[in-house]
Amino acid sequence: MKRRDFLEGGLMAIPAGYLAMQGIGPAVAQGRAETLRVLSDGVPNTFDPSGAGANRDANGFSWNVYSRLVRFGRYPVAGEIYHYDYDTLEGEVAESWEVSPDGRSITFRIRRDATFHDGTPITAAEVKWSLDRAVSMPASARQMGTGSMTSPDQFVIVDPRTLRIDFPQEDRFALPNLALTFPAIINARLARQHATAADPWAAEWLRENVAGSGAFMLDSFTAGQQIAFARFDGWTCGPMPRLRRVIHQLVPAPSGRALAVERGDADIAVGLPPQEIEGLEGKPGVRIVSIPMRNAFQFIGMNNDIAPFDDVHLRLAIAHALPYRAMFEGVMRGRGRPLFGGTEWIPASAAWPAPQPYATDLARAREHLAKSKVPDGFATSFTFNIADEAVAEPLAILIQEALAEIGITLEIAKVPSAQWGTLQTEKKVPFFFDVSVAWLNDPDYFFRIFYSGDWRWNYGSFRNAEVEALLAEVRFERDRAVYEAKVRRIIEIVLAECPIILLWQPSHDLPMRDDLRGYTYYFHRQVDYRVLSRG
């Protein structure tokens, strides 16, 4: 008996020939070889690329069923495993594009043979409607705005195969923004039939239906349970995917996902905690893909508005008291890229995130603490989201022990996921652990999101007039040298002020069957089925 068919077969004594009679046998055999089965902790809650409240799996969904004008290239990180390359863009629906000399307009040439799933051609009209929609829908408008795309007037149809985008000024974030999930190219002819006066962008319809242009078509969907994709054989916007069918299934228990991959019943297990991943290491037939995420980071947040964290000496004291090595080796098992233990307070490079010059040095921590407003220490709480418990809890205990050494007493507090967003938005937590991701990788973008502004993502509630001014100056800076000099100055200020403490860029760890090739990590952390194949 090769498969576990005791319960399936043994209990119900149905003649084996029956299957063959029904013609199931061969179809299934072929299906398994060309079918990918992904077990995840979620399934999409909307099909709309600009859907309100979309979950992560919804990003992965639109990534595979829609195409975009351009896509990021990729570079290898290990044997046939890749990381997306933020600095290289290639055409997807666009076969080429041309940036005007002043950088204020980009003209895209659309592939002649590009079609939607229903076989109708992709023309500039549908591309324009899709981009008009992306800048108009509340869930995507702000992100598109970071690439200076704010109004439908900017998208101009030159001829059926040519579309021009006009910008108020040259913006280096324009093209990368077009490679994100939001500006998906939607079959406007189809979607428009379902638009109404109250719902001009057919949001109601696109939430539950696909007007697709991507390499995969929606095959079947059971809400909250399972989704199946079939390859779109008419896809011309990239190399034809090798997989014919993909089943993406919700399996809530991490142990269930891990076991099914270990036993070969499933191909990829998404969203496993480090313990489960460690348990799979070295199992025959299983390969653990481990890719340091260049756009994600884990950090210790300090609310600079809440005393005593408004005191830079206290923040630096903590930055020098954290047991980085023990945390990284003990909790992260050394997986990821450290952002501690650097040497430069005045950076030589504008690359960011980079290792900060904070290291475990209790003498130095005590010096800073003595200069702070709380020289004898104090008591506070350290908070984390229950969703991050597997990593955050052991970290919290290590931090608690380490800070006790310099007289800071911590009470560890876990917060339910639902409440975490509220607390973060209302800035109610003084001292915490969190994880975050930037969708675009330029250093100034990082500082603009995480070190400025009056919003949730400015985790430290950091306000610094010089940083604000520099960020405004570099926003559209065309001279690379000037840009880098100013970014280096921002880094210098941020290192000295220490509003939050970056820990490391965690690694994207994904157990999969070892015959899978071509796995690529993308900024959205979802599986791209198009590039996967079986060896």
Partner 1 sequence: MGRIGARYVVNRMLAALPVLAGVVVLTFVLVRLLPADPAAFFASGPAMGPEEIEALRRQLGLDRTIPEQLAIYVRGLLAGELGRSLVTGQPVAADLAARLPASLELTVAAFALAVAVAVPLGVLAAARPGSLLDHLVRLIAAAGVAMPPFVTGLVLIHLFYVLAGWAPDPTSRSDPYLPSSPPVTGFLTIDTALDGNWGQFRAVCGRLVLPAGTMALFALAPLVRMTRAAMLDVLTADFVRTARALGLSRARILLVYALRNALVPVVTTAGMVLSYMLGANVLVEKVFAWPGIGSYALDALVASDYAPVQGFVLTVAAIFVALNLGVDLLCAAADPRVGLE
Confirm or reject binding of residue 288 to partner 1 (CB under 8 A): no
* d(C-alpha 141, C-alpha 69), whole Å: 17
Instruction: In angstroms, give the least distance from the CB of 418 to partner 1.
Output: 4
Confirm or reject binding of residue 225 to partner 1 (CB under 8 A): yes
- Of residues 445-474, which lie at the interface with partner 1 (CB under 8 A)? 449, 453-456
Identify the DSSP state of 121: B
The neighbouring-strand residues paired with 98 are: 107
- Of residues 29-68, which lie at the interface with partner 1 (CB under 8 A)? 31-32, 35, 37, 39, 43-46, 51-55
Instruction: In angstroms, give the least distance from the CB of 286 to partner 1.
Output: 14
* d(C-alpha 475, C-alpha 483), whole Å: 9
Instruction: In angstroms, give the least distance from the CB of 69 to partner 1.
Output: 19
Q: Which stretch binds partner 1 (CB under 8 A): 120-128, 217-225, 297-305, 317-325?
A: 217-225
SS3 408: strand
Confirm or reject binding of residue 197 to partner 1 (CB under 8 A): no
Choice between 330 and 421, CB closer to partner 1: 421
Query: Can you tell me which of 125, 240, 253, 346 binds partner 1, judged by CB under 8 A?
Result: 253
Q: Give the amino acid at 146.
A: T
Choice between 10 and 79, CB closer to partner 1: 10
Count of residues making up the chain: 535
* d(C-alpha 245, C-alpha 348), whole Å: 49
Instruction: In angstroms, give the least distance from the CB of 233 to partner 1.
Output: 21
Choice between 1 and 363, CB closer to partner 1: 1
Q: Which stretch binds partner 1 (CB under 8 A): 18-26, 75-83, 235-243, 352-360?
A: 18-26
Query: Can you tell me which of 207, 242, 283, 489 binds partner 1, judged by CB under 8 A?
Result: 207
Query: Can you tell me which of 79, 101, 252, 282 binds partner 1, judged by CB under 8 A?
Result: 252
Confirm or reject binding of residue 4 to partner 1 (CB under 8 A): yes
* d(C-alpha 137, C-alpha 51), whole Å: 8
Identify the DSSP state of 387: G
Choice between 21 and 78, CB closer to partner 1: 21
* d(C-alpha 375, C-alpha 454), whole Å: 30
* d(C-alpha 280, C-alpha 127), whole Å: 44
- Of residues 315-374, which lie at the interface with partner 1 (CB under 8 A)? none
Query: Count of residues binding partner 1 (CB under 8 A)?
Result: 75
* d(C-alpha 274, C-alpha 461), whole Å: 30
Instruction: In angstroms, give the least distance from the CB of 25 to partner 1.
Output: 9
H-helix or E-strand spanning residue 297 = strand 296-302
Instruction: In angstroms, give the least distance from the CB of 366 to partner 1.
Output: 38
Q: Are 312 and 497 in contact (CB under 8 A)?
A: yes
Contacts 24+ apart (CB under 8 A), 524-527: 524/56, 524/59, 524/60, 524/63, 524/181, 524/439, 525/56, 525/293, 525/296, 525/437, 526/56, 526/57, 526/59, 526/60, 526/63, 527/38, 527/60, 527/248, 527/268, 527/270
- Of residues 134-193, which lie at the interface with partner 1 (CB under 8 A)? 138-139, 142-143, 146
User: What are the φ/ψ torsions at residue 113 (nearest 5 degrees)?
Assistant: -100, 10
Choice between 24 and 469, CB closer to partner 1: 24
Query: Can you tell me which of 26, 28, 75, 496 binds partner 1, judged by CB under 8 A?
Result: 28
Confirm or reject binding of residue 198 to partner 1 (CB under 8 A): no
Choice between 100 and 422, CB closer to partner 1: 422
Confirm or reject binding of residue 284 to partner 1 (CB under 8 A): no
